[in-house]
Structure formats: C-alpha cells, structure tokens
Amino acid sequence: MAEERDSKKMVTILSIDGGGIRGIIPATILDFFEKELQALDGDDARLVDYFDVIAGTSTGGLVAAMLTAPNEKGRPLYAASDITPFYLEHCPKIFPQVSAGPFTGIVKTVKQLSGPKYDGKYLHKIIQEKLGTTKVHETLTSVVIPTFDIKYLQPIIFSSFELKNDKDLDVKLSDVTISTSAAPTYLPAHQFTANGKEYNLIDGGVAANNPALLAMREITKELSREDSAFPVRPLDYRKYLVISLGTGTQKQEEKYTAEKAKSWGALGWIINGDSNPLIDVFSQAIVDMVDIHISVVFQALKSEDNYLRIQDDTLSGDASSVDISTKENLDNLIDIGKKLLDKPVSRVNLNTGRNEPFGDETNRDALKR
C-alpha cells in the first residue's frame, strides 16, 4: 500500500530532448556522467543501473533506445561512450550534404517541396540492424518515448508502464525509434503494423520535444497503482530526481523577426535558408514550457536540487542546425558539449525565457553531486 512505502527512496528520471545531430551535445555529457559512475562502482556500471526511467524524443529517443536495449549478455547494447562515435559515423549518411554550387539553394528548395529533405533509408537500415527484434518490454529499465499519430491526430506514447494497460504498445523498439525521429519535412513518416494495429507516426517532438514532464506523468500514473513497485507516494515530487538534457538552442542571437516573418506564406514558414521556422518555433516552445513548468514545481517544493536541467542557449550558425552533418560541425558540437559541463548550473528566467546562472556550481560538479 502507498502508506507503507519507504519514505527514503528516490525515483530517478533521465530525459533527453530532440534536436537531430545536436544529440551529440547530451551524448557528450552522458559519456562524462557514466564515467563518473564507473569511477564509483566499476567499469561495468551503466546508466540503466541508476535510472528508473529513461525518456527521449526524436534523437533523444534514439539515445534512450541505445542505452536501454539489451545485448546478448543482458547488458546495455551501448555504453554512453559509444553514442558520440555512432553519431560521427552515421550522421553524414543519415543527413547527406549537398555539394555547394551556384544552384544549391534552388536544388534544396525544389527537393523539399517535392518530398522530405532526406529519404530516411539509411537511418531505418542502421536502426533496424542495431536494435533487431527487441521490443519495448525488453528494455533494461523503463523507457518513455513519444511519437505522434497523424491518422488520428493524437500522441502515441510508448511507455514501459503503459504496457500493463495496453499490450498492443509492445512493439519493436526499432519502429518506435524510427517513428520518434521522423521530423516533418526532414524525414518520412513511418507506417507499420504490430499486434493487429496500424500505426502512422511522426516525430514525437511535435508533442513533447522535451519529454521530462511526460516521464514524470508516467511515473505519477504508475505510483497510483496499488501494485506499483516504487516506494514513493503519487505527486510527492520531492522524491523525484530529474536530470534533463537539452540539445542546445539559439537564443542569444536574432533568429527570426516579425518584420521578416510578416510577409511569409506557407513556403516561408517551412523554408528559410537551411532552417524550418515553423518546426523551430513549436519545438522550442514545447521545450521551454516543460522546463518552466518543472522548475516552478520544484521551486515551490523547495527541492530545486532535485531537478538539473543542462541546456546551452548560445548556439549560432551551423551548430544550431538539426542536420548540417559536416565533420567540422559535428566536431564543434562535441566541443560545445564539453564546454557546457564547465558552465554554471542555470535556471530558466520565467520572465525572459533565457537560462541564467544559478549559484557557483558547474554542470560537471552538479552531476558529480
């Protein structure tokens, strides 16, 4: 019964945002974090050993799957240190770049108007090869990965907890990962049939590009069950420990202006140089609203130390893109992730929406703590 649950236990959540190739930023942080845990508990330690839930959207969903899928020995398929090399090897093939030329801009525009920017074939191939037939129930810790069904216009959340209520959601992890990564205009929607049900899915980022709050909701629902294994009361967020990793954003420089946008039609909102303003706007809005909500909850409970959000809002140029997969840009993103570790812990300013330093502790020290 809930009243008998151990009051000392914490529920631990790791959440990873969407952001295309910028997934290298949280991957770099996770590499450091897992090495710190290994220094405490040995080289075999993995992140799944410490988190009750790992949530991820889009590129974050891919990372979540890599960290939680089992290998033939029943341990994680990937260590955190394997994720950045995976991105470096495969991102240039997932997002092949068009050689620069006098008609490059025209070619890109025509291609985007006639179909998704990338065909997704290599992405599907590599995910299916790596994850095989592994299903959601086989992950080594609970996962929460959002997608969106465009046939019925509703979010479909693939959650380890929901399997208790809906066995039909126990589908192949590869299908979930392909679906949550299918960003509109960038990659094709993913259709598949499992357990007699047809799915027509796109990127979970349209519903929850920052899945931290979604993970908290899934835990809250689970704690309400009489047979819950968690010794924590529902809504007792003081017993939640949440680490939320962003993939970076561009806020310190002008991205778009009303002066420019007021003349945009449908095409202008979809294509602006190498950016997609519509996707940029709604994905960032979702990310910030989740961060603001969780920050307020933990501040109200005087439990600010239970929530660590690591995000860089100073990206610019190619680094702020989701798909510029040149070696130079990928290496730069690794460097951004490393430097982010030594930046001070920041909190979102509820008035400006920007991250501002909070105390003298760095993200590196906060993770160690």
Q: Is 49 part of the annotated catalytic residue set?
A: no
276-318 pLDDT, tens digit each: 888 888 888 888 889 989 988 998 999 989 999 999 989 988 9
If one compares 178 and 236, the residue with the highest pLDDT of the two is: 178
pLDDT of residue 274: 73
Q: With 70 as the cut, is the pLDDT of residue 111 above it? A: no
The rounded distance, in Å, linking the Cα atoms of 76 and 202 is 26
* pLDDT for res 182: 96
* Active-site hit among 15, 58, 179, 325: 58
The proportion of the chain whose per-residue pLDDT surpasses 70, expressed as a percent, equals: 92
Asked whether residue 185 is assigned to any structural domain, the reply reads yes
**Strands annotated E in 102-189:** 142-149, 154-159
Residue range(s) defining the domain that contains residue 44: 11-254+275-368
- Per the prediction, the chain carries an average pLDDT of 90
Distances, alpha carbon 344 to alpha carbons 106, 309, 362, 363, in Å: 43, 11, 4, 6
Give the model's confidence band at 6: pLDDT under 50 very low, under 70 low, under 90 confident, else very high: very low
CATH number at residue 79: 3.40.1090.10
Q: How far apart are CA 314 and CA 171, in angstroms?
A: 38
Count the domains in the chain.
Answer: 1
Share above pLDDT 90 across residues of the chain, in percent, rounded to a whole number: 65
pLDDT in tens, 132-146: 999 999 999 999 999
Residue 5 clears pLDDT 50, i.e. is over it? no
267, part of any domain: no
Classify residue 318: in a domain, yes or no: yes
Identify whether 203 is a catalytic site residue. Answer: yes
Look at residue 165 in the predicted model and tell me its pLDDT: 82
Please give the Cα distance from 177 to 127 (Å, whole number): 8
49 lies in some domain? yes
Taking only the tens place, the pLDDT of each residue in 182-230 is 999 999 999 999 999 999 999 999 999 999 999 999 999 998 887 777 7
**pLDDT of 107 strictly over 60:** no
- Asked, for residue 5, whether it belongs to a domain, the answer is no
* Alpha carbons 312 and 355: distance in angstroms, whole number: 8
Query: E-assigned strands of the chain?
Result: 11-16, 53-56, 142-149, 154-159, 190-194, 197-203, 240-245, 307-310, 344-348, 355-362
Q: Is 164 within a domain?
A: yes
Q: What is the pLDDT of residue 228?
A: 76
Beta bridge partners of 282: none
pLDDT tens digits, one per residue of 9-26: 889 999 999 999 999 999
- Given the residues 52, 203, 291, 313, the one annotated as active site: 203
Residue 266: partners with Cβ closer than 8 Å, 6 or more residues away: none
Q: Tokens at residue 75, please?
A: 């341990």
Residue 167: per-residue pLDDT: 87
> 296 lies in a domain?
yes
